[in-house]
A and B are shown apart, each in its own frame.
Chain A
């Protein structure tokens, strides 16, 4: 089992009181699956993804990824866990503006101590079709290009789990389709697990399974 989430609760302070973002979510994803998490905005999709990546601590519940209890990890172990296990693609790319495209891709490689990280990063960029843009800064790239860089960065260390949070949300539909094709292709090649958040019905349809969230609860968990 790649991901096992049990009774996950997340409450956040908002305007002086607590708002429940996730309200007892449980789910399981097996290795190699492509799963879409869908739901209207505010349903808790992105929070779920972030918690699976260990980017915040849940109020209650447990998350196991690749056999590791994420909620029990300390700061340094979490960093190592993310580096080894997870690739993350965001809606707004989250590239580091002061680094070039190749340098952005090289960051996880460097953190893992890969030799010749920049050479490896350029290879990854070539795989996403950006062989020529490695020396450009994020501000010099289009939205689609930036997202490709982010994807190259996410898969740079070939993590077993790829998390994508609305990867096409900031892109026009043609570019969005290209990005999804790329994500699915990379996932297939590597045999990794892909969990993607989207409210795009067409995109969700390309996943093997969809999990729908509403008001912080799973409203269906059926296999497509």
Chain B
């Protein structure tokens, strides 16, 4: 083989294949574009999370607990302070804010930082002033949302529990407000002493105590953490360094970009179908030239090299354009996710991201041209003498040559997915989708063949055209079907989740959860709610506690750290704050899976607990085990007598741990209540409760569900944006397939017109064909989407399945419309051709 010859030939031969190579270009560019958009977003998230790590945590080091820090922690922190560290204590909790007078009330997230906050990052306020000065003398700095909802302005006063605060400013950006994706309400900053005087911090209230530490230069956070961990045996105090900040948030973004990346890879693989088809058509057209070149003495490897050079050159150009496209689209993706990201996302155009996507574009092109290029080998030189011989005898090798292609694609998927499990699921789903859609396309062609040939000419021609040699129906149905599958799956999941979080759909779901009802408020609270809602609230006693020991073995930090180091997911169950209750009867919606519920006599005999199934598994508890809970410093040991399954989807008060009655007697209990009122009566009830019991927190379920809905909506928009690349690629495959059959189509339409058919008749035949292709892709994709969504809902989200036909119908209709539109864009010019020149050419 002589490389110079191959290069020169490659250049010359490419002139004949503009249309085929154009489709290769578009397919690769779109696929690489999707990968680059997602990769750039992921790199941006990772870089920003890294750069903002200290601001996100609030310090180099954070201590966090559900209770005031134990004395040994205070001692350790004091030592750091003496050694030059900056230390800021912050308390956070939810509460109700009211306007002065008869105004409304709003659930807010309170934050009371000591002077010095924030240690890292910048708290942006309007007016711009140090936070401490704004909070001085019962000032408050709040988010705009609160002002809007209460109808107050800066300078006005709001009430929080027992204190009245003056709004001195609006908070625009808060560096460390990232605890969860969904906030319960707008932020309110207030001074620590104001919080103390509000009366909201009593026993039973959910206060998050944080101590933020800024270390002096030269002191390593990791070593300090290790020292603290040794000093603090109590695992209830979480110690984190900035570089492990927000593990939840980081994990969420990593997963999100992984899934988005796989959707992007799907569009590149769909593009691969187009690449294979276009290169195949290109090679088929070049068969006479290949035969001639072989007859003239060109060696087969040289000729194969010619086509590899051509396709790789096109793929390289396409990948570069695709990379530019991806960089250009990334801001859209970032904008879609803006609500989820607590900081400004800077696009990170990293050479590594680009190189990786370009490499994927080139590799997919190489893999997908493998089989078509085998045809170059098989062209016999004698073909130059006998052009009438059907060169279709070239199909070589059957399945065997596809094995390395499959392995190559599997390797690419593994590279993109980053984990064997995710890659396996993706490959399995892709293979199932591919086989399903292929079977459907094959079925469509078979039905078209078997169908009693009847009705109009247009139908007959449309159906007959589906059987055109070259199998364009299969690849169009697969390519478009995959795109439809992705888009309809998102729509179906959104619909299922939408129903799940649609308050109106939740039968018997409460309108409110009321927290922190104190023992002495119980009766007046119940009376007030009954007056307003027409029915008494359901009141459940709760006692806040921590797990202290299992089977007599005390829980220590060392033990938890060991589990975390082993990568166990359930360590959270050991350190979390438990909300305990007691009950005489098994609560509705709970099912016993092992053991049995206590009788009154058994309950009187000693402390027993019933533990939720999943928690029991992680904690290693079963019937007969013993667990000790620390209730405000008092250890209470109980025997596990039953394991329960809980329907967490039901919007009622559910508990991990339920004690037998009497076991928690004397423990400081508060009460949680649920109440249901018509939607229109919700604000009135909330305002009445908050006015009468300022310490009680009312969580409006509808409002929280709507906030969850907004977050899910933003994720769906991002996924859909990437999936649109797949749709674009699918349409390119359709256009490419139609372009490849262009000469056949032109010929047939011309013969028909010679026989007296009008353009209208020919166009209707086209319409039947394109419409059927679209319908098959739409139906197949829709069916796969339904299966996929069902699997995700059933096995991943563990939610009840409900089927919404609307996305499916819309998916089929839109696919038919798009297929018709693209089809006619590609072929409408055929209709205007004069027959004679076409017939002469044949």
> Would you call B840 an interface residue if the criterion is a C-beta within 8 Å of the partner chain's C-beta atoms?
yes
> Would you call B761 an interface residue if the criterion is a C-beta within 8 Å of the partner chain's C-beta atoms?
yes
Neighbouring A residues of B825 by C-beta, 8 Å: none
Neighbouring B residues of A80 by C-beta, 8 Å: 756, 758
B835 to chain A, nearest CB (A): 4
Neighbouring A residues of B760 by C-beta, 8 Å: 76
> Contact between B751 and A94 (Cβ–Cβ < 8 Å)?
yes
> Would you call B665 an interface residue if the criterion is a C-beta within 8 Å of the partner chain's C-beta atoms?
no
> Contact between A94 and B839 (Cβ–Cβ < 8 Å)?
yes
Residue of A nearest to B454 (CB): A118
Residue of B nearest to A99 (CB): B464
Q: How far is the CA of A96 from the CA of B467 in the complex (A)?
A: 13
Neighbouring A residues of B755 by C-beta, 8 Å: 82-83, 88, 107-108, 111, 153
**Complex interface residues of chain B between 140 and 157 (CB less than 8 A to chain A):** none
> Contact between B836 and A98 (Cβ–Cβ < 8 Å)?
no
Write out, one digit per residue, whether chain B residues 818-842 have a CB within 8 A of any chain A CB (1) or not (0). Answer: 0000000000000000111101101
> Contact between B756 and A55 (Cβ–Cβ < 8 Å)?
no
> Contact between A92 and B842 (Cβ–Cβ < 8 Å)?
yes
Q: How far is the CA of A55 from the CA of B842 in the complex (A)?
A: 15
- Other-chain residue from A53, A75, A97, A110 in contact with B457 (beta carbon distance below 8 A): A110
Neighbouring A residues of B464 by C-beta, 8 Å: 96, 98-99, 103
Neighbouring B residues of A88 by C-beta, 8 Å: 754-755
> Contact between A50 and B457 (Cβ–Cβ < 8 Å)?
no
> Would you call A62 an interface residue if the criterion is a C-beta within 8 Å of the partner chain's C-beta atoms?
no
> Contact between B758 and A55 (Cβ–Cβ < 8 Å)?
no
> Contact between A79 and B753 (Cβ–Cβ < 8 Å)?
yes
> Contact between B467 and A83 (Cβ–Cβ < 8 Å)?
no
Neighbouring A residues of B757 by C-beta, 8 Å: 79, 107, 111
Q: How far is the CA of A83 from the CA of B760 in the complex (A)?
A: 15
**Complex interface residues of chain B between 728 and 755 (CB less than 8 A to chain A):** 744, 747-748, 751-755
> Contact between B756 and A94 (Cβ–Cβ < 8 Å)?
no
Q: How far is the CA of A81 from the CA of B753 in the complex (A)?
A: 11
> Would you call B453 an interface residue if the criterion is a C-beta within 8 Å of the partner chain's C-beta atoms?
yes
Q: How far is the CA of A51 from the CA of B837 in the complex (A)?
A: 11
Neighbouring A residues of B493 by C-beta, 8 Å: none
> Would you call A57 an interface residue if the criterion is a C-beta within 8 Å of the partner chain's C-beta atoms?
yes
What band does the interface of chain B fall in when counting residues whose beta carbon is under 8 Å from A?
20 to 34
> Would you call A68 an interface residue if the criterion is a C-beta within 8 Å of the partner chain's C-beta atoms?
no
> Would you call B718 an interface residue if the criterion is a C-beta within 8 Å of the partner chain's C-beta atoms?
no
Neighbouring A residues of B756 by C-beta, 8 Å: 79-84, 108, 111-112
Neighbouring B residues of A57 by C-beta, 8 Å: 834
Residue of B nearest to A92 (CB): B842
> Would you call B285 an interface residue if the criterion is a C-beta within 8 Å of the partner chain's C-beta atoms?
no
Using A55-B754, A96-B748, A98-B468 as known contacts, say yes or no to A107 and B457 having CB atoms under 8 A apart: yes
Neighbouring B residues of A112 by C-beta, 8 Å: 756
> Contact between A103 and B453 (Cβ–Cβ < 8 Å)?
yes
Main secondary structure of the interface of B (DSSP, over half): helix
Residue of B nearest to A165 (CB): B839
Write out, one digit per residue, whether chain B residues 461-483 have a CB within 8 A of any chain A CB (1) or not (0). Answer: 10011011000000000000000
A52 to chain B, nearest CB (A): 11
A86 to chain B, nearest CB (A): 8
> Would you call B759 an interface residue if the criterion is a C-beta within 8 Å of the partner chain's C-beta atoms?
yes
- Other-chain residue from B453, B460, B467, B754 in contact with A82 (beta carbon distance below 8 A): B754
> Would you call A69 an interface residue if the criterion is a C-beta within 8 Å of the partner chain's C-beta atoms?
no
Neighbouring A residues of B748 by C-beta, 8 Å: 96-98
Interface centre among A51, A88, A107, by most B CB within 10 Å? A107
Q: How far is the CA of A98 from the CA of B461 in the complex (A)?
A: 8
- Other-chain residue from B744, B759, B837 in contact with A56 (beta carbon distance below 8 A): B837
> Contact between B752 and A55 (Cβ–Cβ < 8 Å)?
no
B176 to chain A, nearest CB (A): 68
Q: How far is the CA of A124 from the CA of B317 in the complex (A)?
A: 57
Neighbouring A residues of B453 by C-beta, 8 Å: 103, 118
Using A79-B758, A82-B755, A82-B756 as known contacts, say yes or no to A56 and B834 having CB atoms under 8 A apart: yes
Q: How far is the CA of A57 from the CA of B756 in the complex (A)?
A: 16
Write out, one digit per residue, whether chain A residues 167-202 have a CB within 8 A of any chain B CB (1) or not (0). Answer: 000000000000000000000000000000000000
Neighbouring A residues of B835 by C-beta, 8 Å: 50, 55-56
Size of the chain A interface, CB-CB below 8 angstroms: 34
Neighbouring A residues of B457 by C-beta, 8 Å: 107, 110-111
> Contact between B754 and A94 (Cβ–Cβ < 8 Å)?
yes
**Complex interface residues of chain A between 60 and 78 (CB less than 8 A to chain B):** 75-76
> Would you call A20 an interface residue if the criterion is a C-beta within 8 Å of the partner chain's C-beta atoms?
no
Neighbouring A residues of B460 by C-beta, 8 Å: 99, 103
**Complex interface residues of chain B between 110 and 126 (CB less than 8 A to chain A):** none
> Would you call A146 an interface residue if the criterion is a C-beta within 8 Å of the partner chain's C-beta atoms?
no
Write out, one digit per residue, whether chain B residues 761-778 have a CB within 8 A of any chain A CB (1) or not (0). Answer: 100000000000000000
> Would you call A47 an interface residue if the criterion is a C-beta within 8 Å of the partner chain's C-beta atoms?
yes
Neighbouring B residues of A75 by C-beta, 8 Å: 758-759
Write out, one digit per residue, whether chain B residues 422-462 have a CB within 8 A of any chain A CB (1) or not (0). Answer: 00000000000000000000000000000001001100110
Q: How far is the CA of A155 from the CA of B453 in the complex (A)?
A: 22
Residue of A nearest to B842 (CB): A92
Q: How far is the CA of A56 from the CA of B753 in the complex (A)?
A: 12
Using A98-B467, A111-B457 as known contacts, say yes or no to A53 and B754 having CB atoms under 8 A apart: yes
Neighbouring B residues of A50 by C-beta, 8 Å: 835-836, 839-840
Q: How far is the CA of A81 from the CA of B456 in the complex (A)?
A: 21
A47 to chain B, nearest CB (A): 7
Residue of B nearest to A47 (CB): B836
Q: How far is the CA of A118 from the CA of B454 in the complex (A)?
A: 9
Q: How far is the CA of A94 from the CA of B842 in the complex (A)?
A: 9
Q: How far is the CA of A204 from the CA of B758 in the complex (A)?
A: 34
**Complex interface residues of chain B between 790 and 842 (CB less than 8 A to chain A):** 834-837, 839-840, 842
> Would you call A46 an interface residue if the criterion is a C-beta within 8 Å of the partner chain's C-beta atoms?
yes
Q: How far is the CA of A200 from the CA of B339 in the complex (A)?
A: 82
A14 to chain B, nearest CB (A): 11
Neighbouring A residues of B465 by C-beta, 8 Å: 98
A77 to chain B, nearest CB (A): 10
Q: How far is the CA of A92 from the CA of B839 in the complex (A)?
A: 9
Residue of B nearest to A156 (CB): B755
Residue of B nearest to A49 (CB): B836
Write out, one digit per residue, whether chain A residues 10-47 have a CB within 8 A of any chain B CB (1) or not (0). Answer: 00100000000000000000000000000000000011
> Contact between B754 and A96 (Cβ–Cβ < 8 Å)?
no
Residue of B nearest to A118 (CB): B453
Neighbouring B residues of A81 by C-beta, 8 Å: 756
A78 to chain B, nearest CB (A): 8
A164 to chain B, nearest CB (A): 13
Q: How far is the CA of A111 from the CA of B336 in the complex (A)?
A: 54
B624 to chain A, nearest CB (A): 75
A193 to chain B, nearest CB (A): 18
Neighbouring B residues of A97 by C-beta, 8 Å: 744, 748
B451 to chain A, nearest CB (A): 13
Residue of A nearest to B759 (CB): A75
Neighbouring B residues of A96 by C-beta, 8 Å: 464, 748, 751-752
Neighbouring B residues of A82 by C-beta, 8 Å: 753-756
Residue of A nearest to B453 (CB): A103
> Contact between B837 and A107 (Cβ–Cβ < 8 Å)?
no
Q: How far is the CA of A79 from the CA of B751 in the complex (A)?
A: 12
Residue of B nearest to A53 (CB): B754
Neighbouring A residues of B839 by C-beta, 8 Å: 50, 55, 90, 94
Residue of A nearest to B752 (CB): A107
Q: How far is the CA of A51 from the CA of B755 in the complex (A)?
A: 14
**Complex interface residues of chain B between 78 and 92 (CB less than 8 A to chain A):** none
Q: How far is the CA of A76 from the CA of B759 in the complex (A)?
A: 8
Neighbouring B residues of A51 by C-beta, 8 Å: 836
The 9 A-B residue pairs with the shortest CB-CB distance, nearest first, are: A83-B756, A56-B836, A55-B836, A50-B836, A98-B464, A55-B835, A82-B756, A79-B758, A56-B834
Q: List 25 A-B contacts (CB under 8 A).
A: A12-B837, A50-B840, A51-B836, A55-B754, A55-B835, A55-B839, A56-B835, A76-B759, A82-B753, A82-B754, A82-B755, A82-B756, A88-B755, A90-B839, A96-B752, A97-B744, A99-B461, A99-B464, A103-B453, A107-B457, A107-B757, A108-B756, A111-B755, A111-B757, A111-B761
